[in-house]
């Protein structure tokens, strides 16, 4: 059971590319990305982190390749992960070639930073030979010198001009298997840059507010920026940039998409902020349920409401619901219908059991 969205988002039409087994653009589901923060040369630690990120629901993971040892370490890393790897390359063209040869599914580069036309040709050849896509990654903090001189400061027009310039470098080499990003740490600058770029190209767009900050501030900035663009139908893949565990980036990315009905994955909890009317400790209950139900991947809705003011109404719209009652007698709802009273002491185990039972029913019905 799910709440019918007020309206569906009409997504911008883009061409489709492949990042390994993940299709980006072309109306495919919006993918969620993150990036490792381990030393890539620490192969074991990087593998473990990639698998944690993947388990949380990421579709693609980016790995930094600042030196030869890092780019060549990808070969061993890729053997032990299922998720497509994007190699993050900034300046040296040989790192991009090594990453492609090591099995990367995508190269994140700025072609203008790579150097001569001969070097760019070699990178493109490696990408074609090894079935790599490319992300043109434009960042307000590293714009080309002449563009900065022209516009005096980073602005939407500067980011877009840089993106179009770098796209053309690849198109001149007859390479179009690419996606584009125009990131800034400023929400307004990023949003306007993506809006402008979306009108000028049909390549898939990778959305992000770069260097967004810590967990709380970064999540808020990213939600505002990416949420605005996604509501306008702009965006084919997203990355939340937080000064935190990459797993948290994936959680926030998934929640943004789920809140806009752009992704269905796991338990969607509808819960109240709690007040003096609550029949049980709502906040602590939700925290416990989030942990106990984090393993579930099947889309399912759960309402956790502390009293009968809004509880029955919310429960009527969710697969499983619990509403606080007097003296610890709480009402359990299944598929919107009252089922039985549950004591607070038994409530969490009962809710977990019913959610898992409902998930099993949904999985078996497919």
Q: What is the CATH number of the domain that holds 350?
A: 3.30.413.10
The pLDDT, as a whole number, for residue 228 is 97
The rounded distance, in Å, linking the Cα atoms of 112 and 231 is 32
The pLDDT, as a whole number, for residue 5 is 55
Question: 183 with 313, same domain?
Answer: no
Question: 187 with 324, same domain?
Answer: no
Edge-to-edge order in the sheet of strand 85-88: 178-183, 133-139, 106-109, 85-88, 60-64, 31-35, 237-239, 206-207
Question: 307 with 346, same domain?
Answer: yes
Question: 286 with 320, same domain?
Answer: yes
The pLDDT, as a whole number, for residue 265 is 85
The pLDDT, as a whole number, for residue 8 is 77
Range in 102-106, 161-165, 326-330 the model is least confident about: 326-330
Question: 201 with 324, same domain?
Answer: no
Q: pLDDT of 1-31, one tens digit each? A: 555 555 678 999 999 999 999 999 999 999 9
Residue 320 lies in a domain: yes
The pLDDT, as a whole number, for residue 7 is 65
Question: 255 with 288, same domain?
Answer: no
Residue 298 lies in a domain: yes
Of 234, 259, 284, the position where a domain reaches its end is 259
Question: 23 with 97, same domain?
Answer: yes
The answer to whether 320 and 351 have CB atoms below 8 angstroms apart is yes
Domain containing residue 205: 17-259
Q: What is the CATH number of the domain that holds 101?
A: 3.20.20.20
Residue 9 lies in a domain: no
186, 192, 195, 316, 362 from 302: Cα distances, Å: 35, 36, 35, 10, 14
Of 259, 276, 295, the position where a domain reaches its end is 259
Length of the chain: 366
Question: 154 with 248, same domain?
Answer: yes
The rounded distance, in Å, linking the Cα atoms of 22 and 239 is 15
Res 49 pLDDT > 90: yes
Q: What percentage of residues in the chain have a pLDDT greater than 90? A: 87
Q: How many independent structural domains does the chain possess?
A: 2
Q: Which residues contact 360 (CB under 8 A, 6 or more apart)?
A: none
Mean pLDDT of 118-144: 93
pTM, whole model, 2 decimals?
0.89
The rounded distance, in Å, linking the Cα atoms of 42 and 86 is 17
Res 337 pLDDT > 90: yes
Residue 12 lies in a domain: no
Question: 323 with 250, same domain?
Answer: no
Question: 298 with 242, same domain?
Answer: no
Residue 7 lies in a domain: no
The pLDDT, as a whole number, for residue 4 is 53
The pLDDT, as a whole number, for residue 9 is 86
Res 90 pLDDT > 90: no
Of 236, 259, 282, the position where a domain reaches its end is 259
Question: 247 with 271, same domain?
Answer: no
Question: 74 with 198, same domain?
Answer: yes
The rounded distance, in Å, linking the Cα atoms of 167 and 149 is 21
Q: pLDDT of 208-227, one tens digit each? A: 999 999 999 999 999 999 99
The pLDDT, as a whole number, for residue 117 is 84
The rounded distance, in Å, linking the Cα atoms of 317 and 70 is 50
Mean pLDDT of 112-118: 81
**Chain-wide mean pLDDT for the chain?**
94
What are residue 61's DSSP bridge partners?
A: 34, 85
The pLDDT, as a whole number, for residue 317 is 92
Residue 3 lies in a domain: no
Backbone angles phi, psi at 67, to 5 degrees: -150, 170
What are residue 300's DSSP bridge partners?
A: 267
The pLDDT, as a whole number, for residue 77 is 98
Q: What percentage of residues in the chain have a pLDDT greater than 70? A: 98
Residue 332 lies in a domain: yes
Q: pLDDT of 216-267, one tens digit each? A: 999 999 999 999 999 999 999 999 999 999 999 999 999 999 999 898 888 9
Residue 6 lies in a domain: no
């Amino acid at each position: 059971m799910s709440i019918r969205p007020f309206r569906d988002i009409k997504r911008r039409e883009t061409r489709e590319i492949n990042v390994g087994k993940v299709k980006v653009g072309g109306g495919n589901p919006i993918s969620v990305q993150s990036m490792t923060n381990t030393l890539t040369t620490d192969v074991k630690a990087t593998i473990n982190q990639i698998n944690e990120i993947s388990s949380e629901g990421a579709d693609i993971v980016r790995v930094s390749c600042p030196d030869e040892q890092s780019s060549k370490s990808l070969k061993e890393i890729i053997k032990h992960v299922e998720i497509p790897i994007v190699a993050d390359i900034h300046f040296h063209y040989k790192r991009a070639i090594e990453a492609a040869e090591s099995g990367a599914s995508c190269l994140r580069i700025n072609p203008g930073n790579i150097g001569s036309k001969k070097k760019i040709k070699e990178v493109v050849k490696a990408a074609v030979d090894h079935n790599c896509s490319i992300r043109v990654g434009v960042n307000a903090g590293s714009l080309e010198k002449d563009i900065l001189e022209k516009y005096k400061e980073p602005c939407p027009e500067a980011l877009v001009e840089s993106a179009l310039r770098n796209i053309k470098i690849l198109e001149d080499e007859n390479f179009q298997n690419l996606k584009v990003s125009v990131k800034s740490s400023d929400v307004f600058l990023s949003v306007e840059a993506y809006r402008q770029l979306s009108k000028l190209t049909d390549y898939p767009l990778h959305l992000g507010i770069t260097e967004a900050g810590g967990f709380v501030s970064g999540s808020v900035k990213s939600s505002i920026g990416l949420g605005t663009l996604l509501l306008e139908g702009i965006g084919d893949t997203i990355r939340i940039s937080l000064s935190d565990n990459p797993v948290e980036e994936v959680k926030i990315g998934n929640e943004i998409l789920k809140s806009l009905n752009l992704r269905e994955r796991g338990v969607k909890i509808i819960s109240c902020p709690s007040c003096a009317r609550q029949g049980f400790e709502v906040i602590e209950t939700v925290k416990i349920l989030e942990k106990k139900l984090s393993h579930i991947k099947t889309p399912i809705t759960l309402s956790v409401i502390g009293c009968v003011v809004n509880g029955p109404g919310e429960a009527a719209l969710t697969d499983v619901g619990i509403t606080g009652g007097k003296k610890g007698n709480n009402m359990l709802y299944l598929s919107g219908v009252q089922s039985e009273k549950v004591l607070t002491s038994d409530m969490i185990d009962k809710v977990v059991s019913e959610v898992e039972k409902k998930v099993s029913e949904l999985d078996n019905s497919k």
